[in-house]
Structure 1
Amino acid sequence: MKQVLTVLVIHAVSIIATVFIFTFTTAAVAAELEVTEVRASRDAGSISADGVVEAVRQTVIAAQVSGAITTLPVKAGDSMKAGQMLVRMDGRVASQQAHASQAQLEAARATLQVASKDFERQKQLFARQYISQAQLDRAEAQFNSAKADASAQIAQAGAAQTQSAYYTLQAPYAGRIADVYVSQGDMVTPGRALLSVFDPAALRVTATLPQAQLASIVQGQPIRIEIPGLPPSQRLIKVDHFIALPVTDASTHTVQLRLDLPIVNGLAPGMFARLQLPAQIVGRDDNARLYIPAKAIMRRAELYAVYVVNQQGRALLRQIRPGPVVGTEQEVLAGVAAGEKVALYPLVAAQSR
């Protein structure tokens, strides 16, 4: 019986020692837990917006006449010079019509010349009273008719010449070929798109912003643009100003912003862009921006969370919605309130739970 009591006493002492050690360890970890308060700021912050890179000058070149494509010397990605021939269509019929119009113009000019000389002679004869007034009037009418016919032939010859020029399409400016929609030998009709071109030296970012946030944007401060599709050394671009279109979309209540970009190697229309617009927060206190140290945020896949320390000193995991990083701090858009305490080191807080 004494041996059984001795074993029970030893077992009880072991349990008490284990609980004591666990309590001591937990208390030590809790003592090492460093916390920081959620900082509220009403200073100038930033507004995030998504945009897309587009060309200021981007043109879709279409056919103005019908015909078969006989020459297509360019392809997508090629560079082009202003006035360079891009597409040539079969314009032999139009060329012959232009030659015919030119011949008719020469005939009309010859007829006008004869009518002019005849009218001068008739005037001289009338001055000597060799012919009647009616004969002079007929000579004048023939001269005016020949002059009008010559003018009509000049206009018709010019129209035929212009029509024949539609069969050769030239580059409207220096740039690059974005895409080619036809092949050599294709039969095209008026209005069909043949190729698209753009000027890589004039690019901009277009983004939409809620109209309620437009008034808080601070003018004259650098705007940061991030292009994730570029190499890391070229992703960040800073511009000085933007243009807000004076029309608000009635269905989405958004305003379109346009920001001109400098020349950057590898930048192309269609790339995704992320904007950080400097803004001044105005309004009530609950509209202030909230910041915590970036190292206090724990990320697992798409989950962002922090350990919030309550009044009892317990660390509770809470999901947040992060905003942009500003220096060593990160803005928190949702999940915490101003003045709350969060664990500075998430791993230490996880062990103290």
Structure 2
Amino acid sequence: MRTLSPKQIIRAGLLLLPSTVVLAAAPPGGMPPMPVEAQPVTVGEIVRSADTVGNLLGYEAVVLRPQIQGKVEKILFEEGQPVTAGQPMVQLDDDQYRAELDEAVANRDLSDANYRRTQELIKRKVASQTDKDKAYAELQANKARVALKKEALSKTVLAAPFDGIAGLRAVSVGDVVTPGQALVEVVDIDPIKVDFRVPEKYVGEVQQGQQIKIRVDAFPGEKFIGEVYAVAPLIDSNGRNLQMRATVPNADSRLRPGMFARVELAMKRYENAISVPEEAIVPMGDKQLVYRIKDGKAEMVPVKLGIRHQAMVQVVQGLEPGDVVITAGQIKVRPGAPVNPINLKQDNAEAPL
């Protein structure tokens, strides 16, 4: 508690705080101002958010699997390195499929010659329309066989379906693989997806385009910002949760699929909102009150509260910007009593006589 100088006592001077709080001078023979802790109200943006957990996923992810049987002839990629869409990654032995294609092409060419010959014979009245139809059907069937053999040959090369990063291969040159066998995974991780769920009570407040912030154990203290791009149309009947999906930029590939993430979903923003520390709130029955310092005295003010965020409470009614509220010592304070906010810097400037 600060002692007033004789001049100040004589003139009954009042000391001003930078926040315009006035320290009341104790009347002669009266009780000195009650020491309290106080804080100016905070004015700024408040974000209503939901905290949850989620998992990181590749933006695109696929396991390359052969559609035909064959022997691995070449490995055309480096594990863990970037690949581009259409880049060949695994080459299977294609000798058998090329031979089968050559055979199909030869049969097609023979069928085509027979069909043309039949057309000439019909003109000379030597062949019937039935002979022509049979020759035409055989030609079309052999054309289809050529197309099938070309398709089978193309399947001997497995290419990357999109730009991404090659995983660890599961085969070596010389392995005989079967249809559906896993060869290597290709993952696109820029951006990276975040899958998370929120309770159904937030259904009316969530939508595409909302911002999220995630934290992962691998990078303590860092936050990565992303955006919601999809909201599931159904509520999970087991947990009564709503599934959401967002993307987070990941150009440096620091975030990896499979990571556990703590997610903060921003749902609603309040501009120029007034907020006070939680400890400034004094419950009284069904009302919420605060002690405001005005002219060096405590004034009890009923307030209407909004959302709570990081140990602060939004005050939607009852306070104005510039107000200073008591945050500690309220139990000893009565309305109208002089108070001394000891934690606030005081203006020691003395007015001249």
TM-score by length of 2: 0.60
The structure 2 residue matched to 1:236, chosen from 223, 234, 240, is 223
The structure 2 residue matched to 1:255, chosen from 239, 242, 247, is 242
The structure 1 residue matched to 2:200, chosen from 206, 211, 214, is 211
User: Alpha-carbon deviations, 1:174-216, whole Å to 9, x = none?
Assistant: 2111232222222211111111101233422111222223334
* 2:122 match: secondary structure: helix
Structure 2 spans left out of the alignment, 5+ residues: 1-33, 40-45, 270-274, 280-307, 314-326, 330-353
1:1-353 aligned at under 5 Å gives the runs 45-122=48-125, 138-217=127-206, 222-230=211-219, 235-265=222-252, 266-279=254-267, 292=278, 326=310, 329=311
* 1:200 match: secondary structure: strand
- Seen in structure 2, the aligned counterparts of structure 1 residues 178 and 66 have a Cα distance that, compared at 3 Å, is same
Residue of structure 2 equivalent to 1:298: none
CA RMSD of aligned residues (A): 3.3
Give the C-alpha shift of residue 93 in structure 1: 1.3
Regions of 4+ moved over 4 Å = 31-36, 216-221, 289-293
State the distance in 1 between where 2:276 and 2:97 align: 71
State the distance in 2 between where 1:277 and 1:251 align: 22
- Seen in structure 2, the aligned counterparts of structure 1 residues 120 and 76 have a Cα distance that, compared at 3 Å, is same
Indicate the structure with greater strand content: 2
Give the C-alpha shift of residue 279 in structure 1: 4.3
TM-score by length of 1: 0.60
Residue of structure 2 equivalent to 1:24: none
- Seen in structure 2, the aligned counterparts of structure 1 residues 217 and 291 have a Cα distance that, compared at 3 Å, is farther
* 2:124 match: secondary structure: helix
State the distance in 2 between where 1:69 and 1:342 align: 75
Structure 1 spans left out of the alignment, 5+ residues: 1-30, 37-42, 123-134, 282-288, 294-323, 332-340, 344-353
Instruction: Indicate if the aligned counterparts of 2:229 and 2:247 stay in contact, CA closer than 8 A.
Output: yes
Instruction: Indicate if the aligned counterparts of 1:94 and 1:164 stay in contact, CA closer than 8 A.
Output: yes
Give the C-alpha shift of residue 224 in structure 1: 2.2
Give the C-alpha shift of residue 165 in structure 1: 1.4
Give the C-alpha shift of residue 226 in structure 1: 2.5
State the distance in 2 between where 1:264 and 1:226 align: 17
State the distance in 1 between where 2:190 and 2:59 align: 9
Give the C-alpha shift of residue 276 in structure 1: 1.1
Q: What one-letter code is carried by the residue in structure 2 that aligns with 1:257?
A: M
State the distance in 2 between where 1:102 and 1:108 align: 10
Q: How many residues align?
A: 244
Specify the structure having the higher radius of gyration (Cα).
Answer: 1
- Seen in structure 2, the aligned counterparts of structure 1 residues 105 and 242 have a Cα distance that, compared at 3 Å, is closer
Q: What one-letter code is carried by the residue in structure 2 that aligns with 1:46?
A: S
